[in-house]
Amino acid sequence: MTMIVFRDDKDRANFRLHMALHTLQSEVNSKLGIRFYRGNIVNVLKEWFPDLPRTRKSAYKYLVKKGFYVHEQPRIDNVEVKTQKEIGEKL
């Protein structure tokens, strides 16, 4: 059994961003049109990328062009990861 342990809210936010990037990649590359997230994954990613295009494919192409997917793996070392608390304080 695998257990995920987070040290702080930054770890949780980092994990959430990483999973959102994987989900977007899986949805775009799915030949059957399968959706892995009940809502719109692009809206989730807009927390970190406010200027993200509206559709999944164009959002994926935008993130590939910006360098967030290297060799088919998400790369988040150049993203400022914010916690839900920090996002809420901004609103």
pLDDT at 76: 65
The sign one gets for the Cα dihedral 22, 51, 56, 36 is positive
pLDDT given at position 36: 86
Cα–Cα distances (Å) from 1 to 5, 39, 84, in that order, read 13, 28, 28
State if pTM tops 0.85.
no
pLDDT at 68: 86
pLDDT at 31: 87
Asked if 9 contacts 53 with a C-beta cutoff of 8 angstroms, the reply is no
Q: What is the pLDDT along the chain (91 residues), one digit of tens a residue?
A: 678 888 898 889 999 999 999 999 999 988 888 888 888 999 999 999 999 999 999 999 999 998 888 766 666 666 666 666 666 665 4
Give pLDDT, residue 41: 94
- The pLDDT assigned to 37 comes to 85
d(CA 68, CA 51): 14
End-to-end CA distance of the chain: 38
Helix (H) or strand (E) holding 69: strand 69-70
